[in-house]
């Protein structure tokens, strides 16, 4: 498997994308989206990463983040995915929900559950214009996918925060001045 190159420590915002395993839409369940947002907020608190924008789609996530120079973003995203997976699997177990077959990976003598694809893709946003472009991309993703008619109708994005609403799943840190 070819390793993807991630360029840390450049002092730029990053547009990060990662998908659910086998495109299974577990984030379409409100409880799972809420657990993800809780883990994202905890990640911000422990790492100092600024959250500039986001959208949670049923089967993938887009984030616009501004990491401190000493943070390796790939490692942090891996931790975010792991903690979210553990929380979702625990919630399913607590409520007697069987893990969907599509999320089970097994081999000789072993079996595990996968909620996320292994990789994440990221793009360095070198200008404030690129940051705004990526945030707008996040906000318009549910409209393009025909999940809603207006970006404000999608609960799981930063759009409502930028529109000045107070009742949002996750407050945003705003766009930094470069």
Answer yes or no: is 130 within a domain. yes
Answer yes or no: is 171 within a domain. no
CATH value at residue 55? 3.30.70.1290
102-109 contact pairs (CB < 8 A, 24+): 102/21, 102/22, 102/24, 103/21, 103/22, 103/24, 103/26
Answer yes or no: is 105 within a domain. yes
How does pLDDT run across 65-116, given as a tens digit for each residue?
Answer: 999 988 999 999 999 999 999 999 999 999 999 999 999 999 999 999 999 9
Answer yes or no: is 152 within a domain. yes
Q: Taking the CA atoms of the chain, what radius of gyration do you get in angstroms?
A: 16
Taking the CB of residue 88, how many other CB atoms lie within 10 A of it?
Answer: 24
pLDDT of residue 113: 95
Confidence band for 4, pLDDT divided at 50, 70 and 90: very low
pLDDT of residue 10: 62
Q: Is the pLDDT of residue 7 over 80?
A: no
Whether the predicted model's global pTM rises above the 0.75 cut: yes
Q: Locate 72 and state its tokens.
A: 């390796």
How does pLDDT run across 91-105, given as a tens digit for each residue?
Answer: 999 999 999 999 999
| Parent domain of 97 | 13-162
Domain tally, the chain: 1
97: left (phi over 0), alpha (psi -120 to 50) or beta: beta
Answer yes or no: is 112 within a domain. yes
Answer yes or no: is 178 within a domain. no
Q: Locate 78 and state its tokens.
A: 């891996």
pLDDT of residue 166: 86
């Amino acid at each position: 498997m070819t390793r993807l190159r991630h360029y840390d420590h450049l002092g730029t915002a990053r547009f990060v994308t990662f998908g659910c395993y086998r495109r299974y839409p577990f984030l379409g369940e409100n409880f799972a989206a809420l657990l993800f947002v809780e883990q994202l907020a905890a990640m911000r608190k422990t790492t100092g990463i600024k959250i500039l924008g986001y959208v949670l789609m049923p089967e993938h996530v887009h984030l616009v983040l501004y990491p401190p120079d000493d943070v390796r973003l790939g490692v942090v995203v891996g931790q975010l995915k792991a903690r979210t997976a553990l929380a979702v699997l625990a919630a399913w177990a607590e409520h007697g929900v069987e893990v969907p077959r599509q999320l089970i990976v097994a081999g000789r003598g072993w079996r595990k559950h996968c909620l996320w694809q292994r990789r994440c893709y990221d793009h360095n946003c070198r200008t404030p214009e690129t940051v705004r472009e990526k945030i707008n991309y996040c906000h318009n993703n549910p409209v393009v996918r025909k999940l809603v008619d207006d970006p404000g109708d999608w609960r799981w994005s930063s759009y409502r925060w930028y529109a000045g609403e107070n009742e949002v799943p996750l407050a945003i840190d705003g766009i930094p001045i470069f």
